[in-house]
Amino acid sequence: MEKRYFISVDIEGITDVTFWSETEAGQAGYDAACEQMTRETAAACRAVLAAGALPVVRDGHGGACNIRHMDLPEGAELMRGWACHPGSMMAGLDGTFSGVIYIGYHAPAGSDGSPLAHTSEYQQIRWAKINGKLASEFTMNSLYAASLGVPSLFLSGDEAMCRLAEEEIPGLTTVAVKRCKGNSTWNIHPKTAEKAIEEAVARQLAAGAPPVPQVPETMALDLCLPTHQAVRSARQLPGVELIGDDVVRYTAKTVKELKIACELMMG
């Protein structure tokens, strides 16, 4: 079977993307953000194709219809829209893939690593923790990959997210396309970002995958929710307990269960 690599793509960690309006269809700056999202994805695809493998892209932002397929290299496959699947941004991934590449990822809710820092829905979670440690979308998605036995290889995004990803998975290659302070971003040139992503993915594919992390036997998911009503709603779910005025917990035994619980607890 031909080697396949899964490419999960978000928009908030794409070069130059700074304001929420740039991430929302029909708003100022959105089209330019989608164009650069497509170009950075294309850079990763070129490296995968050059290695003789198939890139399978999962558009993982908003309505999941942001990436321009015609602007990806021929041979790249693209998944658009949502599949009502617990994998969410990882829907379509299975154990036959040789690795996962993450493009455009961002710092988590509860951190100051990006003006767009969030985890899952930015208006519905103040922060998320897994077993007491601040969790990003990458944290959850790389755990999902690990639960299928698939290694995480590469991540691009803001500097804070790259640093956190390297801590969580030693041996993971990253490219920081911007660093952030307050509501500002300091970006490298978009073409420089594309070149850096393509070269770094190629190096990682040639070097081989880092070890697949061990998935904990149990995962305590703590969510800090923005309103008392959201807390009351989450507490109606079986297994959810209150551990603070605005913090609820669900202890999961599988990553699939963890991701489903996260979605349900957000309401």
C-alpha distance from residue 19 to each of 10, 24, 194, 229 (Å): 14, 10, 21, 28
Examine residue 146 and state whether it is found in any structural domain, yes or no: yes
pLDDT at 2 over 90: no
The predicted model gives 257-264 an average pLDDT of 93
For all residues of the chain together, what is the average pLDDT? Answer: 96
| Residue 92 domain-assigned (yes or no) | yes
Measured CA to CA, the distance from residue 58 to residue 91 in angstroms comes to: 8
- Residue 127 resides in a domain: no
The secondary structure of residue 207, as a DSSP letter, is: H
40-63 pLDDT, tens per residue?
999 999 999 999 999 999 999 999
Position 153 in a domain: yes
The CATH number assigned to the domain holding 56 equals 3.40.50.10780
Could you tell me the residue range of the domain that residue 169 belongs to? 4-118+136-207
The string of pLDDT tens digits covering residues 157-196 is 999 999 999 999 999 999 999 999 999 999 999 999 999 9
**Is 251 part of any domain?**
no
**Percent of the chain beyond pLDDT 70?**
99
The token duo for 8 is 């999960």
| Number of structural domains in the chain | 1
Cβ–Cβ < 8 Å for 225, 124: yes
Angstrom distance (rounded) from CA 258 to CA 144: 9
Model pTM greater than 0.75? yes
Q: Is residue 263 situated within a structural domain?
A: no
Residue 266 has pLDDT above 90, yes or no: no
Does residue 35 sit within a domain?
yes
